[in-house]
Structure 1
Amino acid sequence: MPFVLYLLGLAVFAQGTSEFMLSGLVPDIARDLEISVSAAGALTSAFAVGMVVGAPLLTLLSLRWSRRRALLTFLVTFLLVHVLGAVTTGYGVLLATRIVAALANAGFLAVALATAASMVAPDAKGRATSVLLGGTTLACVAGVPAGALLGELWGWRSAFWAVALLSVPALVAILWSVPATPAPRSTGDRPRARVEVRALRSPRLVLLLLLGALVNGATFCSFTYLAPLATEVTGFGAGWVPVLLALFGLGACVGVGAAGRSADARPVRLLMAGGPALLAGWIVSALAAGSPVAVPVLLFVQGALSFAVGSTLVSQVLYTATGAPTLGGGFATAALNVGAALGPWCGGTALTAGLGYRAPLWVSALLTALALVLALVVAGLAHRTVRRGEVEGPRLPADGGAGGDAVPTP
């Protein structure tokens, strides 16, 4: 893998840390700015909304720019608003910086995914994707606890300064390694944006995006409500919650790494094995939630399975959206964040209905089951296409490696 991809992954790590770190800084922010805890918590919601809205819109805007210019614009904006957030004394300004940071994050990740795919061999997109998404998983394991520690030692503003500083090496890497090739304005006699939007109409691509949203929704549904589950059902003390979160994050790192090695050569086999295993894991987790021995093991396993399946789906979106390399990454980013917003909402609804702290685990199982049903629809459509002898659109690598047979798209 080109070294610049790892520095882009560092930027994704900084952005993932920024997205999640407020969970440990909310009380400090509320006290310092003299606002309610709920108002401080709204800063996280503002970031999530900005990610969902920003991914497709900012990616569409960036089609007019070279990838180097787009990456620099988004990352410089992200860095500057964190500097502003670190020095502001007004809640309104801080809220605005969170929205702008999310927009810049969404645009950067979408273009970075397309850039990573273009800088490696045609059959290595899965590995390139895993390098970038590995930054998000490391943010869960190391970035969020580190942000909380900085907040405890030197105040919440120090965490914002740290995120800004972490973005600097990636800026240098982009200036040094990403070519300033002008963006193509058109393909034939059609504008580039229109060409990419038309390429996104593939039924298979839409289904892959839905699968990604559902799997990520299942992941964040249980991850969001892990603390009350661990303390109220499993019986762990509050001090164990960071350890359990770290176990889930470590599993996620393992899953992304494994997917990076397998997603290019054997994506179908990985998804066919990983999807049912993920569903079974959520069901077993719900049934065994009262066991302090089983829960840590299951958290590690579910973290690995969730991110292995999720990152593989993202790489398959990039393979499928060959006619929309930039917008494909943007819509993949949006789909993941739709899931990250939908999952916790579904889990919270179940808790509000009085179904107990195991309910988010059952909701995760339900979302995963729905994803499996949609996957069967994809397989059925592909099988029917083969029987008709019609092979339309881009082809994905199947088991057997880059030189093996491909799975036809519907």
Structure 2
Amino acid sequence: MPFPLYLLALAVFAMGTSEFMLAGLLPDIASDVDVSVGTAGVLTSAFAIGMIVGAPLVAALARNWRRRPALLGFVLVFAAAHAWGAVTTSFPVLFATRVVAALADAGFLAVALTAAAGLVSPDRKGRALAVVLSGTTVATIAGVPGGSVLGAALGWRATFWAVAALCLPAALGILKGIPAGRDQDEATGRPALRAELAQLAGPRLLLVMLLGALVNAATFGSLTFLGPVVTDSAGLGQLWISVALVLFGAGSFVGVTVAGRLSDRRPGPVIAVAGPVLLLGWPTLAVLADEPVALFTLLFAQGALSFALGSTLITRVLYEAAGAPTMAGSYATAALNVGAAVGPVVAAATFGTEVGSRGPFWASGLLVAVALCIALPLLTVITVGSSTEVLR
């Protein structure tokens, strides 16, 4: 794989650390800014909303920008937003910093995914995407647990400062590693923006975006509220939240790595196998959340399955949006983050019910069930090789 892909992954690592880190910081943030844990969880949705709106909007604005200065600018804005968030004492201001950071993240990821696809041959998009997304999975293994430990030791604000600092080597890597010249599509011509937006009318593209959003909603719904499950249901100390996040992240790294090698040529089997097992895993987690060994084992498995299925679906978004070379990455980003916005809201609604802190796991199971009810009938079409194949 081309070396610039790994530089993009470094920046995604910093951004992924920020996007996921609230899972271990919500209780402290809620206490510090005087809101409930459920209200603090809306910060995750705020980030996702910024990503949803920002991905297509910023990608459209950046169509005529050279990729290196665009990527560099997004990283620097992202760093500044975290520095601002680290010093505020107001929840509305903190909410605003998450939206600004999300807009920068959205712009970066939209450009980065499109750039990654352009750095490899057309039949290797899945592997290129896996390299870039590995920054997110490594963030869940190292960045998020490290941020949780740092937050426990020095307070959640120290974690925000650390994320801002992580952006600096990422910015330097982009400056030194991403070519400064014009992109190839600028030299050969590309579709007009209206033509690229028209791709969204395609039923196959809308379908895989919907499925990706549902699976990601399930993932984020449970991950956002993992801290209360560890401390309340399992009865463990706060530092065990970091262990849970490491295991989930390690599983996600395995899942996205394996799926990256299969999603280009064999997406059907990945969805058909990973989907039902993932569906079974969420309610099993809900039932066994008070057993630490079972909890940690299942978190690893669910991390692997969630990211294997989710990354495969997002790869299909890039394939189905091949006619939108500058906007495809924003469609993939928007699909991911519609789920990230909806998931925590659905999960938070379960806290006031009898299931308590285990509610997010039940909600995640429901979201995956909806996705499979839509997807599995279409996989039958795929396996018989019909010309009406939907997910290729």
Aligned length, in residue pairs: 389
Measure the CA separation in 2 of the matches of 1:360 and 1:299: 13
Q: Which residue of 2 aligns with 1:257?
A: 257
Shift of 1:224: 2.7
Q: Which residue of 1 aligns with 2:350?
A: 350
Shift of 1:383: 8.0
Cα distance change of structure 1 residues 311 and 182 upon mapping to structure 2, 3 Å threshold: closer
SS in 2 for 1:194: helix
Q: Any gaps of 5 or more consecutive residues in structure 2?
A: none
| Counterpart code for 2:129 | T
Measure the CA separation in 2 of the matches of 1:31 and 1:236: 19
| Counterpart code for 1:6 | Y
Cα distance change of structure 1 residues 248 and 31 upon mapping to structure 2, 3 Å threshold: closer
Larger displacement relative to structure 2 (269-278 or 233-242): 233-242
Shift of 1:117: 0.9
Cα distance change of structure 1 residues 297 and 93 upon mapping to structure 2, 3 Å threshold: closer
Measure the CA separation in 2 of the matches of 1:263 and 1:132: 15
| Counterpart code for 2:182 | T
Q: Kindly indicate whether residue 227 of structure 2 is the aligned counterpart of residue 222 of structure 1.
A: no
Shift of 1:356: 4.0
Q: CA RMSD in A?
A: 3.1
State the identity as a percent: 55
Shift of 1:14: 0.6
SS in 1 for 2:327: helix
Cα distance change of structure 1 residues 3 and 42 upon mapping to structure 2, 3 Å threshold: same
Q: Which residue of 2 aligns with 1:403?
A: none
Q: Which has the higher contact order (CA 8 A, sep 6+)?
A: 2
Question: What is the 5 A alignment of 1:162-201?
Answer: 162-179=162-179, 180-181=181-182, 192-201=192-201
Larger displacement relative to structure 2 (162-171 or 198-207): 162-171
Question: What is the 5 A alignment of 1:113-124?
Answer: 113-124=113-124
Q: Which residue of 1 aligns with 2:57?
A: 57
Q: Which residue of 2 aligns with 1:394?
A: none
Shift of 1:254: 1.2
Shift of 1:44: 4.3
Greater gyration radius: 1
Measure the CA separation in 1 of the matches of 2:155 and 2:295: 33
State the Cα deviation string for residues 164-186 of structure 1 (Å, max 9, x = none): 33223332333334333158689
Q: Kindly indicate whether residue 325 of structure 2 is the aligned counterpart of residue 331 of structure 1.
A: no
Question: What is the 5 A alignment of 1:232-251?
Answer: 232-251=232-251
Contact 1:218-1:363 within 8 A present in 2 as well:
yes
Shift of 1:42: 5.6
Q: Kindly indicate whether residue 273 of structure 2 is the aligned counterpart of residue 273 of structure 1.
A: yes
Contact 2:44-2:340 within 8 A present in 1 as well:
no
Shift of 1:358: 3.6
Measure the CA separation in 1 of the matches of 2:26 and 2:302: 27
Shift of 1:409: 6.0
Cα distance change of structure 1 residues 374 and 84 upon mapping to structure 2, 3 Å threshold: same
| Counterpart code for 2:374 | L
Measure the CA separation in 1 of the matches of 2:70 and 2:168: 16
Measure the CA separation in 1 of the matches of 2:230 and 2:175: 45
Cα distance change of structure 1 residues 293 and 79 upon mapping to structure 2, 3 Å threshold: closer
Shift of 1:252: 1.0
Q: Which residue of 2 aligns with 1:207?
A: 207
Contact 2:255-2:308 within 8 A present in 1 as well:
yes
Cα distance change of structure 1 residues 156 and 232 upon mapping to structure 2, 3 Å threshold: closer
Q: Which residue of 1 aligns with 2:299?
A: 299
Q: Which residue of 2 aligns with 1:396?
A: none
Contact 1:7-1:169 within 8 A present in 2 as well:
no
State the Cα deviation string for residues 129-186 of structure 1 (Å, max 9, x = none): 1122221122222212322344455555443333233223332333334333158689
Larger displacement relative to structure 2 (250-259 or 237-246): 237-246
Q: Any gaps of 5 or more consecutive residues in structure 1?
A: 391-406
Measure the CA separation in 2 of the matches of 1:358 and 1:326: 41
Cα distance change of structure 1 residues 239 and 165 upon mapping to structure 2, 3 Å threshold: closer
